[in-house]
Amino acid sequence: MTLSSSSLSSWYNRVLELARKGWGDTHPNPMVGALLVEDGEIVAEGFHCATGKAHAEVEALNALGRAPHPGASLVISLEPCSTHGKTPPCTEAILKSGIQSVYVACEDPNPQHAGQGLDILREHGLHVQVGDPDVRAQATRLNFIFNHNMQTGRPLIALKLAESANGKLANEAGTPSRVTESDARADMMQWRRLFPSICVGSGTVLSDDPSLTARLPDDTWCPLRLVVDSTLSTLAAGVSDRALYTDKYAGKTRIITTDHGLAQKDRVARARELGITILQAESCPRGRVSPLCFPEVLTHLGVNSVYCEGGARMAESLYEEGLADYLFRYRSPREFLGPHALPSPIPKKLRLRDPLEVQLGPDHLTHGFL
């Protein structure tokens, strides 16, 4: 049975909603939703909830608990996989189920696999349809981290900056400043929840003493927290214990340092006492942790992406080395006019690729690819 375009559009909205239930939990896999339609009604739904767990199509078929009726349709947010991974190919499960019509919001982003799953289904005589450009764009964007990994073979490095209307990150360098209001901050928490790791420079740890957790309405979640600190200054005598090193998520904090940092025996000893793991990285000519080691460090840590929350110097290094792939730029209407206000390192008129714009109370977010 062919679905009408208005039903199809609502089924696509629903599979995207289902896919989002895996928000932050599916890495390194994509978020995927699927549903089964019989006689114009949804009869079963599924989503991919975590790597190693059943894929969305299989979840939906299992949820049905019987063979689909002849004429049933399957709607999926992403092209079904056609190769053996941790689970068997979903194309096999679909063919075995007897379903004759498959609607897919977008194709597999991996250039080596794109279209293959659809070709297999078509070769077996199934009706296969891909979403219109709008649906395709929404479904593709949802998995921007996964897509980047597939297309480049590298982790995705995202920068997040909150700027005042006159392009400053703080009213005074080295002091915490409230830049955005509650809606924008709630939005940042959702992005923190998506990324498996989060990163800041030592300057931000010293000035703001952040916790870097995702504080959501019904839950608090902690990503892997990375502090880039060439000399272990955040562990120096006289610096009080930072939240990242002492809170209940301290086991999820890693410090990235250089040989200069490791030479500071008292600071290394303090990290050991606190149970914080230190990772050694190459230093750049200025003696800092080389930003070029970032992709390798992330791969070593088994994370496919990082949400880098600054501050100014950390963001500047990543941006200038061309290592940042994605930017979240929050803009507040407030102005920081003090003589020591900290300028954003990102050019004011920078154009992002495929930008998305969101108004969040008085603040505005633009995010997109660098």
Ligand X SMILES: NC(=O)c1ccc[n+]([C@@H]2O[C@H](COP(=O)([O-])OP(=O)(O)OC[C@H]3O[C@@H](n4cnc5c(N)ncnc54)[C@H](OP(=O)(O)O)[C@@H]3O)[C@@H](O)[C@H]2O)c1
Contacts to ligand X by CB under 6 A = 161-162, 169-170, 173-177, 179, 200-204, 207-208, 228-231, 233, 288-289, 291, 309-314, 317, 342
Q: C-beta of 215: minimal distance to ligand X in Å?
A: 16
- Of 209 and 247, nearer to ligand X (C-beta) is 209
Residues in contact with 159: Cβ distance below 8 Å, sequence separation at least 6, in sequence order = 308, 310, 315, 318, 319, 324, 326, 327, 328, 346, 370
The yes-or-no answer on residue 123 being catalytic is no
What does R_g of the chain's alpha carbons equal in angstroms? 23
d(CA 203, CA 368): 26
- Of 170 and 198, nearer to ligand X (C-beta) is 170
Dihedral over alpha carbons 245, 246, 247, 250 (to 10 degrees): 50
Contact at 8 Å (CB) between 318 and 159?
yes
Q: C-beta of 194: minimal distance to ligand X in Å?
A: 18
* CB burial string 165-203: b at 16+ within 10 A, e below: eebbbbbebeeebebbbeebbebbbebbbbbbbbbbbbb
- Of 109 and 201, nearer to ligand X (C-beta) is 201
- Of 111 and 238, nearer to ligand X (C-beta) is 238
Q: C-beta of 221: minimal distance to ligand X in Å?
A: 20
Reduce the DSSP state of residue 47 to 3 states and report it.
Answer: strand
Strand partners for 226 = 199, 254
- Of 46 and 261, nearer to ligand X (C-beta) is 261
- Rounded to 5°, the CA angle 1-42-118 comes to 55
Q: C-beta of 196: minimal distance to ligand X in Å?
A: 20
- Rounded to 5°, the CA angle 284-252-195 comes to 75
Q: Which of 45, 57, 107, 309 is catalytic?
A: 57
d(CA 129, CA 124): 14
Q: C-beta of 33: minimal distance to ligand X in Å?
A: 32
- Of 53 and 260, nearer to ligand X (C-beta) is 260
Burial classification of residue 28, based on how many CB atoms lie within 10 Å of its CB (0-12 exposed, 13-18 middle, 19 or more buried): middle
Q: C-beta of 249: minimal distance to ligand X in Å?
A: 19
- Of 116 and 317, nearer to ligand X (C-beta) is 317
Q: C-beta of 252: minimal distance to ligand X in Å?
A: 19
d(CA 307, CA 193): 10
Burial classification of residue 47, based on how many CB atoms lie within 10 Å of its CB (0-12 exposed, 13-18 middle, 19 or more buried): buried
Of 250, 257, 197, the C-alpha closest to 233 is 257
71: left (phi over 0), alpha (psi -120 to 50) or beta: left
Which residues form the catalytic set? 57
